[in-house]
Structures are given as structure tokens and as C-alpha cells.
Amino acid sequence: MNKTISLKRALTLNFLLVAIIPILVFGVVAVSLLESRLLDDLEERNLLVAKDISEETRNFLMEIVRDLELVSKVSSDPQLLTSDGLGRYLDQTVTSLDVFESIYLLDQQRKVIGLGLGSAARLRSEDYRLLDFSAHALFQGDELLRGPVWGDAFVSLVTGEPSVTLGLPAREGSLLGNISLLRLSQFLGLYSQGTQSEFAILDRDGSLLAHSDTELAMQRINLSDHPVVRSALKGDGRTLRHKVGDKVFIESAVPVDLTRWVVLVHTDMATITAPLQNLRNLLIAFMALGALLAAGAALRSSRRLLSPLKDLAQDVEQIGQGCYDFKRQLSGYREIDRLVEKIGDMTEDIALRETSIRASEQLFRDLVNSIDGVVWERDYATRAFRFVSSKAEDLLGYPASAWMEDPTFWQNLIHPEDRETTLSYCRFKTEQMSEHDCEYRVVAADGRIVWVRDLIRILTNDGQPQSILGIMIDVTRSKQIEQELTRYRQHLEELVEQRTRELEKAQKELLQSERLAVLGQLTATVSHEIRNPLGTVSNALYLLREGISGQSLPQLLKPLDLAERNVARCDGIISELLDFSKQREIRKVSLNVDSWLSSVLEEVLWPANVQPVTEWNADLEMLFDPDRLRRALINAINNGLQAMEEKSDGQPPVLTILTRRAGPCCEILVRDNGPGIPAEAMERIFEPMFSTKNFGVGLGVPVIRNIVEDHGGTLHYDSQVGVGTTVTISLPIH
């Protein structure tokens, strides 16, 4: 007869062999895998958070650079600020932009010529005005600043807070701004809320600039001995485990490329893995209770044992599906009931944790929605929007849901003129998986044109792109200011150019006046010193002509004629000089223009090969000085006759004089078919003393213009080389 054993013992042994050992192995393996996964996720989260903080820090610093660049433009423009208003503007800038402790405008010798201070240092402003920054570290090598330059961090003597100096080139020197880094600590404090990590920003030496605990930031602790910090200082961001005594910490460090600072995220592994230890203990308790329950069930009834366990399994499945309405139904088995209680407690804990997670998520969304810009996320593969912050409705008037319902909604918002360029650029950069930003116009719900700047980055997982994250910032005001500055600069250039032309014209007029003054003095001397001898020579020639007779007279007639003509020419030159240099009174009489011109032309000695052509179309009675106007007309006719003497085209010379009425004016035209006036000579024909002939003094045309302008009229020359020249004298009828 086989020896029997008790069912209790058999069930107990079977449970221990079949259930406890696999459960124990599974629990150990599960806890190990869970711990490994938790640590991997934590390291990845630490690195992502460090990168986010690095990007936010860079944006914060770039915003400061843009603010200081605007200050540099405004303070360097004397049209916008007077020397008295510069200090007030800089003080107001320091007060309104709370990140600045002070702003210094330096000349080329690095001495302070403009100063802006905060309220804490304003009482010592005279001390600051005497500062000489030529030995400042920003000016090493005595080089001029070519762009934004960040100095080393220091502790402010005024506020006692970590600070840094930003240098920018200015129009006449440099612009320095001392920047308080307290806002970075406050920003890190927001990140630390609801987490068990510490956040810090280190300078280029590894010393604390900012910390989620503001008091630690003030101590300027140096963390360069941490391996992850040393790696980040060399430009390599990574996550490492750092052991200090018996404690192990997970540290992630990422450099800030703009200033070579380092963002450090520091997490205590013991604190993070504490829930995992509790879970391990809980699993051990579950295995012990399972062994007791299995032994009791084996002793009493497998069916009664399995029934409540089955019900409990269903409840646990519902809990796993998110239904936390767990009803504690007692089975009568102490161990099972205790398990039910533990599961109930666990369910309550899970519900509380989920509530906490949802609250944290809501806090994160509120934080995102508080950012002055539209934060959005898109799926990389489908390009569909996953998230759009509520600022989208404030900025453009469209609800966030509209973005996520229609994948093409965003691209339809882009202004038609910018759409193709913007989409092509974003598509190209996204396919390259590179961070980028672009500016373009969008059309708001109310029809407004809004300029936005999109800052875009690609989020990856194991090297594979997962999503596209961006923030859309309204830059309409900046664009308007930029356009206004461009218009102002263009207007200023036009004013400078106009003023330059006026100065050049004034200089030419001054030189002309000086030349005319000298000409007047010379004319007075010539008319007195030469005209009298010319009269004597003329009388002598007359007496010679009358006194010579006989056979020698024909031989001397030609020399006498030549001498008399040259005396007359010299007298004409003197008359031109006198007419040009002296202001003669205009004595107007009323005459018929056509009849008067006919009588004037009868007095002209026309060359044998020239026949004048006349057209009298005016038939007007006008007031003018016949003697002065006769001189102008004779000069114009003589110029035409002299020009036609140079004809070489074989055509007969023709001089046309005509009159006509043109609106409120009467025009007298003298037209020749001579060789014409070259373009380079046309520019100077009104200049006194300019002549293209080898005789005369070059006053014929200026005399004509003076006489015509004395009558209130205008003189116009129109010439074409090879065709001829037309002189138009325009006189007002009334």
C-alpha cells in the first residue's frame, strides 16, 4: 500500500515548487528589468531636460543680445537721442529690463561716455563715470569688438548675485551690459517643482551661475571635478553616473553653445529608485502571501481557493485597464482578504499617483500656455499636429483644435507670397533633421497680417526622428520697427545727398561770383586803358587813309582794312565785357515784335553765301528794351553765322529766324544748319570765359542770357551734332 501524504503538505510542496520558485525568478527578473528601464528612462529624461534648459538659456541670452543691440542702435543715432537724453535712456533701459544691472557706452579708448544704472547703484553713478575699461578681459589684444562677446562670470559688488558682462560694437566704440543671472535660478526653480532633481548652470570654469536652490547659486560652488561637467566643458553633452561616498547620482550635462556654459541635471538614484525598492518588497510579500494562500487552499479546497482568486484576477485586470473602482469583497480566507486589502490600497495609491501625474501634466500645459508664443508639436511621419498651445487663439484668432483637425491648416494660414518659400525651406531642413528657424507672414482670423518667427527642432529616439517641436513668436512689432528704421535711413541718405548737391551748387555759384568780380575789375581796367589807345589807333588809321594818295594807296588799302577790322573787333570785345559785367537799366518801350525784328535784320551784314529765312508768326505788341534785345539777337545771329563757316558737309548754309506765340510767351528762334555743339561743350556754354573758338572771350552766350533774364524771359539752346543749333529766346507777353 502506497504511503500517502496529506493534501495540505502536497499542495504546499507543489505550490512551493510550481508557483513560488517561478514567481520568485520572475519577480527578480522583472524588478531588474524594471530598474534597468527606469534608470535608462531617467538618464534619457535627464539629458532631454538638460537640452531643453540649454535651449531656453540660449533663448534667454539671445533675447538679451537683441535688447542690447537695440540699445546700441538707438544710443548711436544722434537723430534719436541727444547727449543729455542718452543717460536717461540708458537708466530707463536698465530699469525696464530687469536683467541688466548696468549699461556702459564706451568710446574707442574704452572710456565711459554714457551710463545706465539700476536703482541700487545710481547713488554711486559718479564713480562709474570715471571707469576705464581698456584693461577689461573683453578687450584682450586691444581688438575692436566685431559682434556679441560674453565675458567670464563674476559676483556683482552691488547685488552680490552672479553676473556676466555682454559686449557689443557700437557706432563710436563699444557697449557693455552687466547682466544679473538671478532669473536663471528662478527659471531653474520652476523646473524643479514637482521633481526630485536639482538643476544648475555652470560657467566656463565649472562654477555655479544658477541653481534651482537660489542660496546655492550665491555660493559659487565649483563642480568641474564631475566627469560629466568636464566632458560638457569640452563641448560633449552626455549622461553619467557619479558616485559620492555611498550615494550614486545620475548627472546629465549639456553645453550652452552661445557662452560655453554648462547645464547640469543632478538626480539622486536612491530617491528615484525608492519606489522600486518598495515594489520589490511588495512582490516578496505577495509571494509569501501566495505561498500561504496556496497551502491553505490545498488543505481546504482547491475550488474555494481558485474562485476568489479568479474574481481577484478580474478585478486586477480592470485596474490594469484604468478602472480604479475596486470593491473589496471578502472571501473568508485571511490571506486572500489581506491580498484584496493590499490590492485595494495599491489601487488607491495608483489612483492618487495618476491624479498627481495629471496635475503635473496640467501644470506643464499651463506653463507652456503661459509662454509668449505658440508652442506646437507635430508627428514627424504624418506631419499632423499633436499639440498646439492656447496662445494660438490669442495670437491669430483660431482655436487650437483647428490646427489638429486639419493637417493642412497651418500651411493655409501662411501668406500666399511667403507660402512656397517657407514650406520648401522647412521641408528641406526637416528632412535633414536639423534645427532651424524662419520668419514669414500669416493671415489672422480678423484679416491682420502677422509676422511670426518659428523656432523648430527635431526630437529623435535612438537616432530616429519622432516628432517636430517648435515655438511660434510674434515679431510683427520688430518688423515694423525695422521697416521704419530702413525708411528713416533712406530718407536720411536722400537728405544728405540733397544737401551735398546744394553745397556743390553753392560752391559753384561762389566760384562763379568770384570769377565775375575779378572779371568786373578787369573790364573796368580794360575799358579805360585799352579803349582810349584804340581810339587813337582808329583816328591814326583814318588820317593815314586820307593822307596817302598816289600809286601806294592800293597797296595799303588791304592792311588798313585789316587794322580797322581788328580795332573794331577789340572794341566789340570790350563792349561784351562791359555788357556782361555792368548791370544796365532796362528801358522798355511798346513795339511790334515782327516789325522790329525785320528792321534789325536789315542792319545785319550777311555773308554772300548765306540767305536768311524769316517767318513772322507772332504779330504781338510787347514791352521790351530794343537796344538791349537787339544786342542779344545780333550775338545769337553772329554765333550762328560763325558756326556755319565751319560746315564741311557741302550743304548751303541756311539761317532761319522766326517768331511764334507759345502760351503766355513770345518765342524768337534763331536756327542754323551748322555742325552743332558737342555734348561736352553744351554743358558749359553758359559759363563766362568759355569758348570753342580761337578768338573772342567767351561772353556772347552769357550776355544773351543776362539780357533775356533781365526781361524776365528764358534762354534755351538745342543742338544736334551734324544737324545744327536752335536758340530759343522766350519773353513774357505781359
pLDDT tens digits, one per residue of 464-496: 888 888 888 888 888 888 888 888 888 888 888
> Mean pLDDT, to the nearest integer, of 685-707?
64
Contact status, residue 39 vs residue 45, Cβ threshold 8 Å: no
pLDDT in tens, 38-82: 777 777 888 888 888 888 888 888 888 888 888 888 877 776 666
**Per-residue model confidence (pLDDT) at position 329:** 67
Region class of 698: left (phi > 0), else alpha (psi between -120 and 50), else beta: left
**Per-residue model confidence (pLDDT) at position 226:** 84
Rounded to whole angstroms, the Cα distance separating 143 from 533 reads: 76
Residues 467 and 533 in one domain: no
Cell numbers 589807333 correspond to 537
Residues 67 and 94 in one domain: yes
In a domain, 255, yes or no: no
The SS3 assignment for 161 reads: coil
**Per-residue model confidence (pLDDT) at position 172:** 75
- What CATH number is attached to the domain comprising 634? 3.30.565.10
Residues 603 and 517 in one domain: no
Beta strands in 340-401 (DSSP E): 374-379, 385-388
Residues 28 and 113 in one domain: yes
pLDDT in tens, 698-714: 556 777 888 888 888 89
Give 576's contacts (C-beta < 8 A, 6+ positions apart).
696, 697, 699, 700, 703
Contact status, residue 133 vs residue 176, Cβ threshold 8 Å: yes
> Mean pLDDT, to the nearest integer, of 485-510?
78
**Per-residue model confidence (pLDDT) at position 74:** 82
Looking at per-residue confidence, does 31 or 598 come out higher?
A: 598
Q: Cα 137 to chain center, whole Å?
A: 29
pLDDT in tens, 321-343: 767 666 666 666 677 677 777 77
pLDDT in tens, 198-249: 888 888 888 888 888 877 777 778 888 888 888 888 888 888 887 777 788 8
Give 60's contacts (C-beta < 8 A, 6+ positions apart).
183, 184, 187
* Phi, then psi, of 662 in degrees rounded to 5: -125, 90
Band (5; pLDDT cuts 50, 70, 90)? very low
Flag the least confident range among 50-54, 644-648, 713-717, 729-733: 644-648
Domain stop point among 424, 441, 474: 474
Enclosing domain of residue 403? 372-474
In a domain, 281, yes or no: yes
Pick the closest to residue 479 from 446, 455, 453, 456 (CA basis): 453
Residues 465 and 490 in one domain: no
Q: Which ranges of 210-273 would DSSP assign to H, the alpha helix?
A: 214-218, 227-233, 269-272
In a domain, 248, yes or no: no
| Helix (H), strand (E) at residue 615 | strand 611-616
The SS3 assignment for 385 reads: strand
Domain stop point among 474, 494, 511: 474
Rounded to whole angstroms, the Cα distance separating 303 from 309 reads: 10
pLDDT surpassing 50 at residue 4: no
Domain stop point among 425, 444, 474: 474
Q: Per the structure, how many domains does the chain have?
A: 4
Band (658; pLDDT cuts 50, 70, 90)? very high
Q: Cα 600 to chain center, whole Å?
A: 70
In a domain, 239, yes or no: no
Pick the closest to residue 607 from 680, 552, 672 (CA basis): 672
Residues 78 and 109 in one domain: yes
pLDDT surpassing 70 at residue 550: no
**Grid coordinates of 339:** 491580498
Band (632; pLDDT cuts 50, 70, 90)? confident
Pick the closest to residue 391 from 474, 327, 453 (CA basis): 474
- What CATH number is attached to the domain comprising 28? 3.30.450.20
Q: What is the DSSP string of 24-76?
A: HHHHHHHHHHHHHHHHHHHHHHHHHHHHHHHHHHHHHHHHHHHHHHHHHHHHT
The DSSP code for 289 is H
Rounded to whole angstroms, the Cα distance separating 687 from 699 reads: 8
Residues 119 and 173 in one domain: yes
Torsion angle (degrees, nearest 10) of CA 232, 236, 240, 244:
-20
Amino acid at 652: P
The SS3 assignment for 579 reads: helix
Residues 278 and 168 in one domain: yes
Work out the mean pLDDT of the chain and round it to a whole number. Answer: 77
Instruction: Kindly report the pTM of this predicted structure.
Output: 0.39
In a domain, 321, yes or no: no
In a domain, 541, yes or no: yes
Flag the least confident range among 125-139, 488-502, 565-579, 626-640: 565-579
**Grid coordinates of 136:** 577689461
**Per-residue model confidence (pLDDT) at position 6:** 37
**Per-residue model confidence (pLDDT) at position 11:** 46
pLDDT surpassing 50 at residue 612: yes
Q: Cα 254 to chain center, whole Å?
A: 30
pLDDT in tens, 11-22: 455 655 665 666
Residues 60 and 145 in one domain: yes
In a domain, 246, yes or no: no
- The pLDDT > 70 percentage for the chain reads 72
> Mean pLDDT, to the nearest integer, of 88-115?
83
In a domain, 571, yes or no: no
Residues 287 and 392 in one domain: no
pLDDT in tens, 144-157: 778 888 888 887 77
Band (669; pLDDT cuts 50, 70, 90)? very high
Residues 134 and 32 in one domain: yes
Neighbours of 120 (CB within 10 A): 12
Residues 113 and 70 in one domain: yes
Band (667; pLDDT cuts 50, 70, 90)? very high
